[in-house]
Chains A and B, each alone.
Chain A
Amino acid sequence: MPIQYYIFFCLTLFSIGVIGVLTRRNAIIVFMCVELMLNAVNLLLVAFSKMHHAAGLKIAAASTAGIDAQIFVFFIMVVAAAEVSVGLAIIVMMFRNTHSIDINFLNRLKN
């Protein structure tokens, strides 16, 4: 499978995430769209790792080229899990104070 197909697919997913962040006002949906963008990047990292691995196997038969990208994806998932737990706690606190999850309420951070 050519690498371009994977890039196009991941770009589409990423752009859908961007559109979601720009068009929705529900804080949880915005957060979910950020997760979607993160996943698109993860998939692209794995696709590039396999591309790199195919190139490395031509040089040496026992090559483990490309394994770093998969470790990176693993760490991205770890950080995403930590980020979601803190982010959802912030959203819950915001809901408790304002009784709404409209992100426009966060305007008051300006002043």
Chain B
Amino acid sequence: MSTLEILFFALSAFAVISAAMVLISKNPIHSVLWLILVFFAISGHYILLNAQFLAIVNIIVYAGAIMVLFLFVIMLMNVKSDNEPQKKLFTKFIGVLSGGSLLTLLIALVKQTVQLEGKEVMMKEGTIGLIHPLGKALFSDYVVPFEISSVLFLSAMVGAVIIGKK
């Protein structure tokens, strides 16, 4: 087993366990902290794929900004974990069953796909994930969507303020 494979499986196991802990933990604050760990594991995957720009953006935007927002809202509401309403055990069982069947179905589907056989993902090489080619593409081919996204941010900001003021 090469170092890359060991890193891949370690990061994957770490991400899956942390994602499961997001669901299992009763306290919402613990869930947020576990989700931050998932995002760090996914950033590690981006680094393995040599998508360095996305790895940094993932940490800054997701683990930094969005999760702090979640944590802030949870602490603002002061939700007690002991009086959190729980779904019925039967509903939970049905939920896990349907999620598990979705997973089984999709995995069986991917295993049967002939087109995906022998396709290799390029790891730790390739320059498309670096800032220079991405910035070039972003400000030449994708400059209009980039500018529109700034309008989207402005409207999201105004919307959040208006909803919050009511």
- Which residues of A does B touch, CB under 8 Å? 1-9, 11-13, 15-20, 22-26, 28-29, 31-33, 35-36, 39, 42-43, 46-47, 49-51, 53-55, 57, 64-68, 70-71, 73-75, 77-86, 88-93, 95, 100-102, 104
Question: How many Å lie between the Cα of A57 and that of B46 in the bound state?
Answer: 20
Residues of A near B77 (CB, < 8 A) are 92, 95, 101
Q: Which of A64, A85, A101 contacts B133 (CB 8 A)?
A: A64
Chain B window 85-117, contacts with chain A (Cβ cutoff 8 Å), 1 for yes, 0 for no: 111000110111011101100110011000010
Contacts of A31 in B (CB 8 A): 70
Describe B's contact surface by its main secondary structure.
helix
| Contact partners of B35 in chain A: CB under 8 A | 32, 35-36
Cβ-defined contact, A78 with B46, below 8 A: no
Instruction: Report yes or no: A39 in contact with B39, Cβ–Cβ below 8 A.
Output: yes
Given A36-B38, A39-B42, is A53 in contact with B128 using a C-beta cutoff of 8 Å?
yes
B127 to chain A: closest residue by CB: A64
Is A84 within 8 A of B142, CB to CB?
Answer: no
**Contact among A28, A66, A74 for B28, CB-based, below 8 A:** A28
Do residues A1 and B99 form an inter-chain contact, with CB atoms below 8 A?
no
Excluding A16-B22, A47-B121, 8 further A-B contacts by CB distance (< 8 Å) are A1-B8, A57-B122, A80-B61, A82-B152, A86-B156, A86-B160, A89-B163, A93-B163
- CB-based contact B156/A85 at 8 Å: yes
Contact residue among A5, A16, A67 (Cβ-Cβ distance under 8 Å from B137): A67
Q: How far is the CA of A67 from the CA of B38 in the complex (A)?
A: 25
